[in-house]
Chain A
Amino acid sequence: MTKILMKGNEAFGAAAIKAGCRYFFGYPITPQNEIPEYMSRELPKVGGCFLQAESEIAAINMVYGAAGAGARVMTSSSSPGIALKQEGISYIAACELPCVIVNVSRGGPGLGGIQPSQSDYFQNTRGGGNGDYRTIVYAPANLQEVVDMTGDAFDVADQYRIPVIISADGMIGQMMEPVEFSERKGRPLSPKNWAVTGTEEKRAPNSINSLYIVHEELEKHNWRLDSKHKAIEKNEVQYETYQLQDAELVVVAYGTTSRVVRSAVMDLRKEGINIGLIRPKTLWPFPYKAFDEISEKVKGILTVEMSTGQMIDDVRIANNGRFPIHFMGSPGGSIPAAEVISERIKSIIRE
């Protein structure tokens, strides 16, 4: 299999088209503009449709429509743009429609800045839309994972009929790395016999609806969504652990930050300081069970995020009071340097 040198944002687009995505609706925002650019160039070549909407809100509602008709559809944006899409995401979740949403995050709140950020952890995993819904959230740390996770995201979205968010940041979007597009196995999927595609008077009409005005029906609907969420929590957790066995301290980080942390961990191990790493690859469902692998001799846990501390809430839940938890954050769009992380780890160990 030949390797291709590709930009992260282009890798999202290429992997989506390879996975059968034929519809893309979006609105420009830095640092993800190469995704719509790529889709506008490549989708027409495979008979697909690229449309630049008048706003993010329009784009997500076009996704809603295409998903309702059974299409493989994607949109992408960055933090404030994703905020605008939240209403649509809630409706898509309520109607149990599959779609893929890429969030190449930037600093916030508000317009914030355009540099890499992880301050959308809450927005991605908790959502800004109303109601008891969830979205599966993948967090690739390198471009091969961008390719693999984007491909899988369409299958997982179809299987559970749920919106899937891919959480990246400006560094993942802008950098280049070699990637391989191997043949995906793909999941066995049921036909989309729920889609609104016209009956041709041969069957009863399908309907896509999020309004349950009879409260018993809404309650039933929500418990059904809940059982789906429980199945996802059971089956779809992905994470990676690195040298937990002999670790004095365990660092938790995802995406871009996890790469810098890994550099720091490798440097420290050369100095004889044994540090472990837990890297969530799905942010929801969160890999709570990874923390069971931490041995009792660990002195503490350090969470490193490009935010003032969001994932740390899930780390606290996972830790359940076992070890002291420390935090290191950079909420202004700068990526912490490995040397700075190493120093912080050393100071915690010396305490």
Chain B
Amino acid sequence: MAEQRFIISGFGGQGVMLMGMILAYAGMLEGKEVTWLPSYGPEMRGGTANCHVIVSDKPISSPIVTKATTVVAMNLPSLSKFQGFLEEDGKLFINNSLIDVKPERKDIKDYYVSANDIAMGLYNSKIANMVMLGAIIKETGVVSHNTVEKVLEKIFHGDKAKLIPVNIEALKKGETLLLN
């Protein structure tokens, strides 16, 4: 696909900004054009956070995503707020550990990832974002698993390097999840 446009959303602390940043970073390493645009505002703890990410073969004009090819909802408010931004046949990833409703949109493809439950089983809920990211890269093909591993090695260094294996494990778990 020539251009993929993502809106990734959740509450503060779920690592949605990082998910977007990893996608952008990996896209750049694969020689693609990328932009990452965070929401910012007078948000409170537990409030919503989202980022817009574009990965493209061509130079990107506006970094603002109004017609997303993929929306990732890590919590319920994110699903309500952003399902309307999906283009027809777009991919909607739903963290059904925290979301127990179905999307209103019927003209899209929905994917269900129990990101928090799987993360808890592996390590702790902090890596729920990596489980989701695995599912995203598998289903969208936006970047390869190997490139994401390279990004993780760049992000986690020094004391944090010990976190790489568990993050990769979470990523792999997310990648295999939707095949069943």
Contact = CB atoms under 8 A, between A and B. Distances in A.
A177 B40 contact: no
Contacts of A36: none
Given A114-B41, A174-B38, A174-B40, A260 B28 contact: no
B34 A177 contact: yes
A266 interface: yes
B24 A260 contact: no
Interface in B20-45: 21, 24-25, 28, 33-38, 40-42
B146 interface: no
Nearest to A30: B40
Interface string B43-70: 0000000000000000001111010000
Contacts of B36: 5, 175-177
A171 B63 CA distance: 9
Interface size class of B (residues with CB under 8 A): 10 to 19
A259 B62 contact: yes
Nearest to A170: B40
Given A3-B28, A5-B24, A5-B28, A175 B38 contact: yes
A198 interface: no
A178 interface: yes
Interface in A227-247: none
A177 B24 CA distance: 8
A225 B24 CA distance: 46
B24 A176 contact: yes
A174 B66 contact: no
B62 A262 contact: yes
Given A5-B25, A175-B35, A176-B35, A335 B64 contact: yes
Contacts of A259: 61-63
8 contacts: A5-B21, A114-B41, A175-B37, A176-B37, A259-B63, A260-B64, A262-B61, A335-B64
